[in-house]
Amino acid sequence: MTIDWSAFTPWSAIVGGVVIGLAVALFVLVNGRVAGISGIVGGMLHPRAGDVAWRLAFIAGLFLAPKVYATVAPQPSATIDASYPVLIVAGFLVGVGTRYAGGCTSGHGVCGLSRLSPRSLVATLSFMAAGFVTVYVVRHVIGT
Amino acid sequence: MALVVAFVAGLVFGLGLIVAGMTNPAKILGFLDVAGKWDPSLALVMAGAVAVGGVAFALANRRTMSALGSPLQLPAGRTIDVRLVGGSLLFGIGWGLAGFCPGPAIVALGAGYVKSGVFVVAMLLGMGAFELIERNRTRNESGAPDATSA
């Protein structure tokens, strides 16, 4: 293992992480809910009365974040190397997987670990391990 | 009021992801590529978020009501089973293939990346497939417990 010092951004990572933590804190202390994004999105697919608007409001906030960020600083660019077929397969797996797991990086990874939930620890270790193995296979076994 | 707070929470969450660089799939894949040149940034994002989140949930655990007076809705599930691990493994494979998880994909869509739109649509189809499978299953074995969500 060699650390890529040119890509490693420790300060912005910690500051961004703290900001994410503040959003999680706001949501649980004021609204009494866990900021788990796959659950918030997935819950709209079996809509119940009075349970849709807050989900849309949260998602609208996420969606508009780049526009708000751009009023203060230039927007950072994203590099999406995956081809369209890979994106479709990946998106489908993320959709099915997060719903069966009952959470994703936010719900299990951030909120669950913050709550010291053993269930979320197992989920986080599982999706991290699967991510490590997948990238290893894609980059070092199949790729050159 | 709850709607405004939900919007602000989503917005702040999204700004945090942007600041942290987590809306860039190349950076996620750099973290997951432990055998190559490794970018540990994501671990520090998690550490920062959990440090603040840990305090928030410790405070929340001492209450039964939110500041707006609604009951706290914290996940109650404790079972560690095939659904949890299998689902997480499938999610991890998708995450490793694209470098997107749900939050950053929605933020990147807001930034105008068409590719993240394709990912989000496929993700919604995957979530829809889960709903269909589970609806059939609970119809067949009535009284089966609902999926717990975190």
Chain B residue with the nearest C-alpha to that of A90: B94
pLDDT at B145: 54
Residues in chain B with CB shorter than 8 Å from the CB of A63 are 10, 14, 106-107, 109-110
- Which of B79, B85, B131 lies closest to A126 in CB terms? B85
3-state helix, strand, coil in chain B (%, to 5): 65, 5, 30
- Among A91, A140, A141, A56, which Cα is nearest to B7's? A56
pLDDT at B148: 54
Kindly report which listed range (A59-68, B22-31, B138-147) carries the lowest average pLDDT score: B138-147
**Mean pLDDT across chain B, nearest whole number?**
92
**Judged by CB atoms within 8 Å, which residues 50-89 of A form the interface with B?**
53-55, 57-69, 75-82, 84, 86-89
Instruction: Please tell me the number of Cα atoms within 13 Å of B35 on its side-chain side.
Output: 13
A141 touches chain B (CB under 8 A): no
- Which of A1, A99, A140 lies closest to B147 in CB terms? A99
pLDDT at B143 over 80: no
Residues 6 or more apart whose CB falls under 8 angstroms from that of A39 comprise A102, A103, A107, B149, B150
For residues B27-51, b (16+ Cβ closer than 10 Å) or e, as one string? bbbbbbbeebebbbbbebbbebbbe
What is the spatial distance between Cα B117 and Cα B126, in angstroms, rounded to a whole number?
14
CB atoms within 10 A of CB A128: 21
- Which of A19, A21, A28 lies closest to B19 in CB terms? A19
CB B32 within 8 A of CB B98: no
Helix (H, G, I), strand (E, B) or coil at A3: strand
Domain residue extents for chain B: 2-143
CB atoms within 10 A of CB A101: 31
pLDDT at B111: 96
* Higher local confidence (pLDDT), A100 or B136: A100
Query: What is the least distance, in Å, from the CA of B135 to any CA of chain A?
Result: 10
pLDDT in tens, B56-90: 999 998 888 899 988 888 888 889 999 999 999 99
pLDDT at B26: 96
Question: Mutating which of A15, A30, A140 best tests the B interface, going by the most B Cβ atoms within 10 A?
Answer: A30
What is the spatial distance between Cα A66 and Cα A74, in angstroms, rounded to a whole number?
10
pLDDT at B64: 86
pLDDT at B149 over 60: no
pLDDT at A50: 86
CB atoms within 10 A of CB B64: 9
Residues in chain B with CB shorter than 8 Å from the CB of A134 are 32, 92-93, 95-97
ipTM above 0.85, yes or no: yes
Residues in chain B with CB shorter than 8 Å from the CB of A116 are 54
Residue B142 pLDDT grade (very low, low, confident, very high; cuts 50, 70, 90): low
What is the spatial distance between Cα A66 and Cα A54, in angstroms, rounded to a whole number?
20
pLDDT profile of chain A (144 residues), mean per 10: 92 98 97 95 91 96 97 93 97 98 96 96 98 97 81
Residue type, B1: M
pLDDT at B147: 53
Q: Which residue has the tokens 């989140």?
A: B53
**Of all residues in chain B, what percent carry a pLDDT higher than 70?**
94
